Structure 1
Amino acid sequence: MSGTELTVTLSGGSAADARAVVQALEPTFGAADERPGDDGATVHTATFEHEAADRPSDGASADAARLSAPVTVTVQGTPEAVEKASATLSRTFTTRDQGAASGDQEQERELLLEP
């Protein structure tokens, strides 16, 4: 199977909250291209370009589950990658599904993660 790309956009919360969300996805998708920094940004983005189908989807870190504020997360990629990301985040954080949109070969889902 070819590599899967997943793009994650995070808003709300702090840079540490954004890093916690990215860290929670790494057991499933491998290392992100870059973790969110402390640059004062209000929106953070991370991209995973790994073999998502070949990684277990149940290994989110318990340490990543602490958030200081609500974080809105948009995950975009193949339907399989979006489903795995949504499931991983739902196991790690308290989540509310804010909706989804599907295209021909790509899907997008928005989740609200609560502290």
Structure 2
Amino acid sequence: MSLEASGTHRKAPTVNSDEQASPAEHASADVVVEVEGCKAADAHAVFRVLHTAFRSDRAPDDVPQETPGPGTTVWTSTVDVSERGTTPEPRRLSAPVTVSLQGGYWAVDQLCAGLKSAFVVHLLGTAAGDQEKEVELRLETLRQPVTKGAP
């Protein structure tokens, strides 16, 4: 299901050949997210965080399913970062998770910032293009600080 099919996608304004559109009008707020090489429960934790922080084409109860057979399972989602939701709480992961993000520079940066409240985010690599970039991240469980004198 795409954001456009669900009715939450905003179309960019049309511009005739005599008009100039501002850069903001060309920038997309959509980021394609790929989660791979992890358990379905960890992929679900990542998608729940994204759904809390932004609009997503995955429903909160859309739990990723393991695919039997050889090879790595890759789960995908399209996230609209044009409006922030609530700040997600930290989520526990059973192991580090690799996430690839692809979209406009601003949109990818917004999504990365949204992940930082819930996970430790390590940048593994970046591929930059003219209008978009692809970022590979490793997410880990965010350790809560221990308060002295706490019971």
Query: Which bracket does the TM-score occupy, shorter chain normalised?
Result: 0.7 to 0.9
CA contact (8 A) 1:32 1:46 kept: yes
SS in 1 for 2:56: coil
Aligned to 1:39: 66
Aligned to 1:15: 40
**Deviation (angstroms), 1:69:** 1.1
In 2, Cα distance between equivalents of 1:87 and 1:72: 16
1:26 aligned to 2:54?
Answer: no
Aligned to 1:77: 103
Identity %: 36
CA contact (8 A) 2:29 2:107 kept: yes
CA contact (8 A) 1:58 1:88 kept: no
Q: Please, which runs of 5 or more residues in structure 1 have no aligned partner?
A: none
Q: Please, which runs of 5 or more residues in structure 2 have no aligned partner?
A: 1-9, 13-27, 142-151
CA contact (8 A) 1:24 1:89 kept: yes
- Encode CA deviations 1:35-64: one digit per residue, 9 max, x unaligned: 45213262211112x3x23x22661233xx
Which has a greater percent of strand? 1
In 2, Cα distance between equivalents of 1:88 and 1:57: 10
Which has a greater percent of helix? 1
TM norm structure 2: 0.63
Aligned length: 110
Q: Which protein is bigger by CA-based radius of gyration?
A: 2
TM norm structure 1: 0.80
Superposition RMSD on alpha carbons, in Å? 2.2
SS in 1 for 2:117: helix
- Say which structure, 1 or 2, has more relative contact order (CA 8 Å, 6+ apart): 1
